[in-house]
């Protein structure tokens, strides 16, 4: 079930939002602390189109009530007397408001600064307050902070709602759905979030496909919370649905690898898609490497098979294919990389992977980075040339591949100055999302050929979908799943 937060500052606007929200939510949370005047509680309860949770929060709990606590508790008692479906009562004042059926008490604990290491002790104490529902709201910025909440969800005997105030919070929302939590909090629309980053009903429906998740659903982790990762979640979920597979994505982050592995085991992940920052370090968990992953010692897709993890590197082949195809347009032949000069701006795993392939096929790779020690080491390992980042402007090359945003030490700013680009060059920007970056737009205006970020992303998504599903997923299925806000206007 969805619980839609109603956070307007007047009775009139709140009533209007309640009417709109009834089409999307199963329960409505009315935030009385946002009202400028004393709320007409009886009227609001009488007008409710769906069951309501009445809440009046203190500033310490992320609320806005500016009266005394005695006044606030009086409002909550009035909600119970008026037979609100649910009334949210803070753990520390739960004894001051006794149960009074038919209203149900949501006993809540909020911590805006951390997830305490003893949160399980607090949870056990809350169970002694005769709750109908327990609600835990804590700051969960990392897997380490989210882990205790995952454990609570897995063993809860009282109906429990967990809200993580941080990017890993979406992981807790999806696990809550899988483990049968009474409801999941969602914003009615963008701009009406109860807290920064709260997913909307549309996000849950179209990106995360929460409605499809059941206890038997297998989860595929997707690490990272940027635009790329959101696009990956949306597209892969569409691929799983297209193939009629009971898999859905679980957004996650990687902090401490030991904790991450515990979470992988606890939620019984069937696989994972690893963000670029962690593709080398994830090898430390000991997967069996296959194909390009053996050469790169990096993994972007993990699959659980026969009680063991298997690692692949699908990104590398997608990058290499994009480079070859762009060169073939101007240099038809069996080996478009031969004798071409390809400059890699920034030092990342991508730099090493593609540079090694360029060298292997008779091309000339050049790595440009401010990391002199790292750049020289990679260049020596690959057998190519290293130059300081600012030297890229005076170094001959046919292709520019942007792998990372670096500071130009002479200009004192990040990024690459497009003024040096010449007609006929090929530009690939691996740092872009699904939209053209400013550099790519400038490249086009100067007569350069570019690989569009959307095409590059769809190439990668096709490879990842095939690796995870074992089937070829139509490109249009993946393209249609990408939310419009991540795409360029046509």
Distance CA 250, CA 149 (A): 15
* Mean pLDDT within 245-274: 92
Question: How far are the Cα atoms of 102, 154, 264, 316, 349 from residue 258, in angstroms, in the given order?
Answer: 46, 19, 10, 26, 22
* Mean pLDDT within 347-353: 87
Q: Which DSSP category does 205 fall into?
A: I
Chain segment 125-141, per-residue pLDDT in tens: 999 999 999 999 999 88
* Mean pLDDT within 79-87: 96
β-bridge partners, 309:
304
Mean pLDDT of the chain: 91
Distance CA 252, CA 168 (A): 6
Q: What SS3 state is found at 428?
A: strand
* Mean pLDDT within 214-225: 95
pLDDT at 408: 65
- Residue 350's pLDDT band (boundaries 50, 70, 90)? confident
Chain segment 369-389, per-residue pLDDT in tens: 999 999 999 999 999 999 999
**65 Cβ neighbours under 8 A, 6+ residues apart:** 32, 33, 56, 57, 58, 59, 72
> Domains plus CATH for the chain?
2-187 (3.20.20.70), 317-453 (3.40.50.720)
- Residue 331's pLDDT band (boundaries 50, 70, 90)? confident
Both tokens of residue 423?
A: 């007609």
| Dmax (CA) of the chain | 82
* Mean pLDDT within 24-31: 93
pLDDT at 51 over 90: yes
Question: How far are the Cα atoms of 91, 123, 190, 262 from residue 134, in angstroms, in the given order?
Answer: 9, 8, 27, 25
Residue whose C-alpha is closest to residue 252's, from 160, 144, 163, 349: 144
Token pair 């649905």 is found at 241
């Amino acid at each position: 079930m969805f619980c839609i937060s109603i956070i307007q500052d007047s009775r009139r606007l709140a009533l209007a939002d309640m009417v709109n929200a009834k089409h999307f939510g199963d329960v409505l949370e009315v935030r009385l602390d946002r009202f400028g005047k004393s709320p007409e509680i009886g009227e609001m309860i009488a007008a409710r189109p769906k069951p309501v949770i009445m809440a009046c929060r203190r500033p310490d709990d992320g609320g806005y009530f500016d009266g005394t606590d005695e006044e606030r508790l009086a409002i909550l008692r009035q909600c119970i007397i008026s037979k609100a479906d649910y009334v949210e009562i803070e753990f520390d004042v739960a004894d001051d408001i006794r149960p009074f059926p038919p209203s149900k008490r949501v006993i809540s604990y909020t911590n805006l600064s951390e997830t305490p290491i003893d949160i399980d002790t607090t949870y056990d104490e809350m169970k002694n307050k005769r709750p109908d529902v327990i609600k835990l709201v804590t700051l969960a910025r990392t897997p380490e902070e989210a882990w205790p909440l995952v454990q609570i969800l897995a063993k809860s005997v009282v109906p429990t709602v967990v809200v993580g105030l941080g990017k890993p919070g979406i992981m807790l929302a999806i696990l809550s759905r899988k483990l049968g939590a009474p409801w999941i909090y969602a914003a009615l629309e963008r701009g009406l979030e109860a807290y920064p980053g709260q997913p909307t009903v549309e996000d849950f429906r179209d990106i995360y496909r929460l409605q499809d998740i059941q206890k038997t659903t297998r989860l595929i982790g997707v690490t990272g919370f940027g635009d790329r990762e959101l696009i990956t979640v949306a597209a892969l979920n569409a691929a799983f649905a297209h193939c009629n597979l009971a898999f859905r994505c679980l957004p996650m982050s990687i902090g401490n690898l030991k904790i991450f592995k515990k979470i992988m085991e606890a939620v019984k992940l069937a696989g994972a898609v690893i963000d670029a920052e962690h593709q080398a370090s994830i090898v430390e968990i000991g997967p069996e490497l296959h194909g390009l992953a053996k050469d790169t010692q990096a993994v972007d897709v993990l699959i659980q098979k026969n009680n063991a993890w298997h690692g692949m590197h699908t990104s590398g082949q997608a990058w290499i294919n994009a480079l070859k195809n762009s060169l073939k347009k101007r240099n038809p032949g069996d080996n478009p990389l031969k004798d071409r000069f390809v400059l890699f701006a920034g030092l990342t795993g991508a730099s090493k992977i593609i540079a090694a392939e360029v060298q292997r096929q008779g091309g000339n790779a050049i790595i440009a980075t401010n990391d002199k020690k790292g750049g020289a080491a990679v260049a020596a390992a690959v057998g190519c040339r290293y130059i300081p980042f600012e030297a890229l402007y005076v170094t001959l090359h046919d292709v520019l591949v942007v792998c990372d945003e670096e500071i130009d030490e002479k200009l004192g700013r990040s990024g690459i100055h497009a003024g040096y680009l010449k007609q006929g060059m090929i530009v690939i920007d691996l740092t872009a999302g699904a939209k053209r970056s400013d550099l790519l737009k400038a490249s086009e205006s100067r007569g350069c050929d570019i690989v569009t970020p959307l095409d590059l992303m769809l190439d990668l998504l096709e490879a990842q979908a095939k690796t995870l599903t074992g089937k070829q997923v139509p490109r249009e299925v993946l393209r249609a799943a990408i939310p419009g806000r991540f795409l360029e206007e046509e």
